[in-house]
Amino acid sequence: MNIRFNTPRLKYLISAISLGCFITVLVLGCTPKKEIEQKKEITASVNPEDWPTIKPLPLDPKIEAKIDELLPKLTLAQKVGQVIQADNASITPEEVKKYRLGSVLSGGNSAPGSLAYADTKAWLALADEFYNASIDTEGVEVAIPYIWGIDAVHGHANLSGAIVFPHNIGLGAMNNPDLIEKIAAVTAHELTVSGHDWTFAPTLAVPKDLRWGRSYEGFSENPEIVKSYGGRIVTGLQGRIGEEGFMGAGRVISSAKHFLADGATEKGVDQGNALISEEELREIHAAGYYSAIPAGVQTVMASFSSWQGRKLHGDKELLTDVLKGKLGFNGFVVGDWNGHGQVPGCSNTDCAPSLNAGLDMYMAPDSWKGLYESTLKHVKDGTIPMTRLDDAVRRILRVKIASGIFTKGAPSTRENAGNEKLLGLPENRAIARQAVRESMVLLKNNNKTLPLDASKTILVIGDGAESISKASGGWTLSWQGKGHTNKEFPNGTSILDGIKEAVVKAGGKLIYGKEVTTNVKADVVIAIYGEDPYAEFQGDVQNLDFVPNGFDVKKLATFKSKGIPVVSVFLSGRPLWTNTEINNSDAFVAAWLPGSEGAGISDMLFQTDPSFEFTGRLSFSWPAKALVSKNKETLFELGYGLGYTSPEKVDRLPEISGLENSTVASTGIFFNKGAAVAPWGLWLNSDNLTKQVASFPTSVGGLIISKTDHKAQEDALRIQWTKPDYDQMRISTSLPSNMSKEANDGKQLTFFAKSFKDKNTVIKISMCTEDSSCDKTIEVNITSNDWKEYSISLSRFAKLGIDMTQVKSVLMITAAEGVDIGISTIRLTSATDD
């Protein structure tokens, strides 16, 4: 039967009314959530007077006096430099000095060296180079130190040896503000080992549609949980404002993000549009800021997304009138990755409206130079008033001075810097392991299957057992977190290692192997499986159906039919429709993305300490259907979760996903959002060498393929031919695809491309069958330094003699030595499409 479970622990249940009562203390009026949802007319106006009034934190007279001393000494060019942040992969220390940039960031794949992450020594060496360049006074009266930011969203996960904590969705389920502050403090501590000054955290989104690929970055759909965490994380990262240790040793600048309603976009589309009322914007999605700002958060990051069609990077009423006005925020507002370029009338290299709206620092990773030049021009011609520029620089200097950056010295000389022994300290790993235990939610425990007896014969299956990478998810060692081995986690423990430790200690027997069959005899089966890693943009999905990958979930039913108890440990960045898997499990645990302390999982499976209990409760409701509809159907309610001795039994669930009658036709999309769309994959060919692309950058022969930006971060491929061999990049599938109808119907192969060279470039394109060598090609002239859309009629490939009923490579690209192009959004379109 289809049942809804409610927990007696009512404090976990969402209560927008309660949050509204908090706001009532600050402003008159309180709108219950139900009333908000029933509003039919939603206007796009902002009424700052309806927002809470937060008294600004008192400004430090000494800091303000220092700013008054510095500002007149800065040239106009220096001031413009201060409001721009570049990515370390796109700027040199010499350029930081020349342009006097205020900040450098490291994107998810922008570590020094050839990898997306680095060790302490490499990070510190680059940190010193940028720092020393920024304080060089050659040609200026006074030099302003730069600050270095990075996304340490669940630990300092781009630093080799750092602790990887559970992602926020799990931390929301643990609902423990005291522990969240400790986690933030450990993260800050490890950031200072590598010389970083600033983390882009906490994420204070309140995700409302789990199809959003960043849902796991949110703590809860319950704004009260988000609010209870916001200020505590800020305190953990920065120290307690007003006390001596604030921004002292072992602390870093924090950034509350993404302002505002990034978790409310239609259909969960990343960087999309939140079509919600101002009441919901204020009472639900701003909740975390009501605790983060009084706690002294130093920076706030603007959201990529829009509210009612208004891009947040250009919304003066929200950034200035509300955030800096009513909410009393006196730090600075930083943009997101070229987010200013999405403001109407702007581009990545030219956007006065964002600064005028209240953005104080552009995040311009690769567009910084053009943006610097246009911003300087706009200030000179009055498009950007000098008062606005001075206010932005004042806010930036206020944060920098408060952080101690003027007196700390070079990164390598600071306390903790370079001491790798401070990474993964036992007491800090214990904090992470506790967080894993408290984040796990027991959804089903029929017949009191858990806790298990570790002295028995335990069979472990599933691709999540041995992989720390899969258990950690995106934003781990690299942006998307894919393809990393356990050797890359020197201070990590896999879930399998934790189970092994418990079983050996109890004298039991552990069976594990990737080739283990269902004929193995065991007392219990532990299956560890779930989603593969993903991050923003690429993580968006159309429905909430769990699509098995890397593990055959049919084995669950086979073992269960033999009377062997089955325990599923489900790894995911969001609740998913898993009715079939739940039915085929005697116990089912939502383990989320627990990170590098996998032994925390075994602690709970075997209850290795009598004091351990399942205290995790759902911070997001669990779907009853895979198909997302306006009438949200819930299987397990927000706040649900069982303990070892809970009497609830989960009866057999209906295995109707809601997708059965949906008519979702093939969209003909082959490469989108930086990834090939299944069943298509990326392949490289050079002579007799063939290689499937699993991670970036990679190469074969003289062909190098990496990621680049088109309309969003790393949504495009960069392909470079370095040898005169005409090597090929293909988008292929294992089974042939019949495209004859599409060819007859006038469909076109369409893509965006540009040449990275200063002159136009010729590439050769074809489609291939299993028997063809792809030698029949069509030449396309790609223009230089500008993305343009190109289309080739499928009928042209048919006229070349290609069998359109047997297409295995929908796109083959080859070119001469020296060609360097970008390509994105490869799909079929109609000749009549715009």
Q: Which residues are catalytic?
A: 336, 536
The CA-based angle 382-384-387, given to 5 degrees, is 95
Quick one: DSSP state of residue 24? H
N- to C-terminal Cα separation, the chain: 48
| CA separation for the pair 178, 186 (Å, rounded) | 13
- Backbone conformation region of residue 539, classed left if phi is above 0, alpha if psi is from -120 to 50, else beta: alpha
Residue 138 structure tokens: 């050659």
Residue type, 635: L
HSE-up of residue 720 (Cα within 13 Å, Cβ side): 12
Which residues does 435 contact at the CB level (< 8 Å), separation at least 6?
Answer: 165, 166, 170, 171, 174, 179, 183, 597, 600
Q: Which two tokens stand for residue 444?
A: 């089903």
CB 346 within 8 A of CB 314: yes
Q: Which residues of 653-672 are buried (b: 16+ CB within 10 A; e: fewer)?
A: beeebbeeeeeeeeebebbb
Q: How far is it, in rounded angstroms, from Cα 252 to Cα 408?
A: 12
Nearest Cα to Cα of residue 743 among 680, 796, 667: 796
CB of 605 closer than 8 Å to CB of 562: no
Q: In this structure, are residues 831 and 794 in contact, taking their beta carbons and an 8 Å threshold?
A: no
Task: Kindly report the number of other CB atoms within 10 A of residue 376's CB atom.
Answer: 18
Query: Which among 282, 279, 285, 233 has a CA at the least distance from the CA of 263?
Result: 285
Q: Which residues have CB under 8 Å from 235's CB, separation 6+?
A: 181, 184, 241, 295, 296
Beta bridge partners of 698: 705
CA 758 vs CA 35, 366, 568, 659, 819: distances in Å: 58, 17, 55, 49, 11
Whether the Cβ atoms of residue 223 and residue 281 lie closer than 8 Å to each other = no
| DSSP conformation class of 188 | H
CA distance 615 to 312: 37
**In whole angstroms, what is the distance from residue 288 CA to residue 477 CA?**
27
Instruction: Return the residue matching tokens 């209990």.
Output: 613
- Distance from C-alpha of 409 to C-alpha of 417, rounded to nearest angstrom: 11
Tokens of 288: 């975390």
Tokens of 602: 């075994």
Bin 658: left if φ > 0, else alpha if -120 < ψ < 50, else beta: left
One-character DSSP codes across 262-290: GGG-GGG-TT-EE---HHHIIIIITTTHH
**Cα–Cα distances in angstroms (integers) from residue 244 to residues 238, 241, 294, 297, in the given order:** 11, 8, 17, 16
Distance CA(499)–CA(509), nearest Å, equals: 11
Give all strands (DSSP E) within 738-787, no chain letters.
747-755, 761-769, 778-782
Please name the residues in contact with 58: beta carbons below 8 A apart, sequence gap of 6 or more: none
> 819 in the Ramachandran plot: left (φ > 0), alpha (ψ -120 to 50) or beta?
beta
Give the E-state strand segments of 341-446 in sequence order. 362-363, 441-445
Residue written as tokens 């567009």? 367
Amino acid at 302: A
Look up tokens 């430099």; give the residue: 81
Contact 103, 87 (CB under 8 A): no
